[in-house]
Structure 1
Amino acid sequence: MLSDKDYELLDQVLVKLKQADNTCSDIVLDSEEVRVLVDDFDDVNHELVEIKKIIEGFENYED
């Protein structure tokens, strides 16, 4: 299970990813950000799948 600190780190990573995508630049993660992605990969992946389902639900609702 992700801790509050892990959620904060994950949020930082997502912000960095979005900024890198918007600017077509590289992303640099510090060791703690990498740790939360590696150590909690299953939890992170599950959370992302759930978020995707919610977003798709909203998109389908708008149609």
Structure 2
Amino acid sequence: MLSDKDYELLDKVFLKLKQADFTCSDVVLGPEEVRVLVDDFDDVNNQLVEIKKIMDEFEKR
């Protein structure tokens, strides 16, 4: 289960990923950001799937 601190780190990671997508640039993650992704992979993966569904639905509009 993700802690509040983990959610904050994930928000930062998602922001970095979004910015990198818009600018076609690389993403550099800090050790804590990598840790939260690795330690909570299942939770993160499930959230990414849900975010992707929301984004796909939004783009259809």
What RMSD in Å do the two structures reach over aligned CA positions? Answer: 2.2
1:31-46 equivalence runs, <5 A: 31-46=31-46
**What is residue 16 of structure 1 aligned with on the other side?**
16
Check 1:35–1:49 CA distance in 2 against 1; reply closer, same or farther (3 A cut).
same
> 1: distance between equivalents of 2:52 and 2:6?
19
User: Aligned residues, how many?
Assistant: 60
> 2: distance between equivalents of 1:25 and 1:47?
23
Structure 1: runs of 5 or more not aligned: none
> 2: distance between equivalents of 1:24 and 1:51?
20
**What is residue 2 of structure 1 aligned with on the other side?**
2
Structure 2: runs of 5 or more not aligned: none
Q: TM-score, normalization: structure 1?
A: 0.79
Residue 51 of structure 1: how far off its partner (Å)? 3.2
Deviation per CA, 1:8-35, whole angstroms, max 9, x where unpaired?
Answer: 0000000000111111111100000000
Residue 46 of structure 1: how far off its partner (Å)? 1.5
Q: TM-score, normalization: structure 2?
A: 0.81
**What is residue 48 of structure 1 aligned with on the other side?**
48
